[in-house]
Amino acid sequence: MTRPLLAANWKMHKGPAEAASFGAEFASLYAPRADRTVVLFPPALSLAALKASLADRADIRIGVQDVHQEAEGAHTGSLSAAMAAQAGAGWVLAGHSERRHEFGDTDEQVAKKVSRILEAGLRPMLCVGEKLEEREGGRLEAVLRRQLEAVLNALTPADAGAITYAYEPVWAIGTGRTASPADAAEAHAILRTILAETTGAVAAAQATVLYGGSVKPSNIGELLSADGVDGGLVGGASLDPESFAAICSAGPGDT
């Protein structure tokens, strides 16, 4: 495993005041570690307050949860990758299942978003994953291939190498139902096979691939010990500083 990356997706939780108090408390619970990368994705409106509360913690990276697929224009309510960069974000989520299924983000839009993110000099965290009926219908690989190839076919190999991936089975997000380590390992192996075909074997082996879906302090250890799992993208359990600090401090096999 590469250096584990633990990321917090707060979704539509925590305004600036709550984000700042999370930052202060999390910083007191989680000391900088050279063997971990931690990224927080607050709502965009809370980014400045969270950043200020973590001003002396350059080890904790901050990102936004989405950007528009166009660089600028008449898109009321949206924000661009360049704006996110100017506001101090370093990372952006792309293709989260809630964006795909609640807001209708298509594979093509997700691909354009990843291009805008890279053009702005930011790090994309590309989320992919199947719905329950797709898994049960034997379409896991086809879904992952469609979602990945839409993005990768639009990029140069060098750009593709800048992507961090999160495998997030839709049936495990916010449901309390976690993929078993074996399920995660199987999906991560499929994902790396598809990456190898499109970006080459070396890039596929070196890619950081996170698991996401009901990760919590009690299961992060076993998930980190699954083959090919390089960390976790955490929703609900990242809202509490103590719980997320425990997740960020866990090692493979911890229970």
Looking at the annotation, which residues are catalytic? 96, 168
One-letter amino acid at 56 equals: D
Query: Considering only CA atoms, which of 13, 25, 19 is closest in space to residue 51?
Result: 19
The correct pick among 173, 179, 207, 209 for binding ligand PEP (CB under 6 A) is 173
Q: Yes or no: say if 51 and 16 are a contact pair by the CB < 8 Å rule.
A: no
Residue 212 binds ligand PEP (CB under 6 A) = yes
The least CB distance from residue 39 to ligand PEP, in Å, is 12
Question: Using CB under 6 A, which residues numbered 98 to 137 contact ligand PEP?
Answer: none
Residue 38 binds ligand PEP (CB under 6 A) = no
Residue 174 binds ligand PEP (CB under 6 A) = yes
Residue 24 has which token pair? 């202060």
Residue 217 binds ligand PEP (CB under 6 A) = no
- Taking CB atoms within 8 Å and a gap of at least 24, the contacts of 200-207 are 200/157, 203/157, 203/160, 203/161, 206/2, 206/161, 207/161, 207/163, 207/164, 207/165
With 0-12 / 13-18 / 19 or more C-beta atoms within 10 angstroms meaning exposed / middle / buried, residue 239 is middle
The correct pick among 43, 181, 217, 236 for binding ligand PEP (CB under 6 A) is 236
Query: Considering only CA atoms, which of 11, 63, 2, 51 is closest in space to residue 27?
Result: 51
Residue 233 binds ligand PEP (CB under 6 A) = yes
Residue 207 binds ligand PEP (CB under 6 A) = no
The least CB distance from residue 74 to ligand PEP, in Å, is 29
The least CB distance from residue 185 to ligand PEP, in Å, is 17
Interface with ligand PEP (CB under 6 A): 9, 11, 168, 173-174, 212-215, 233-237
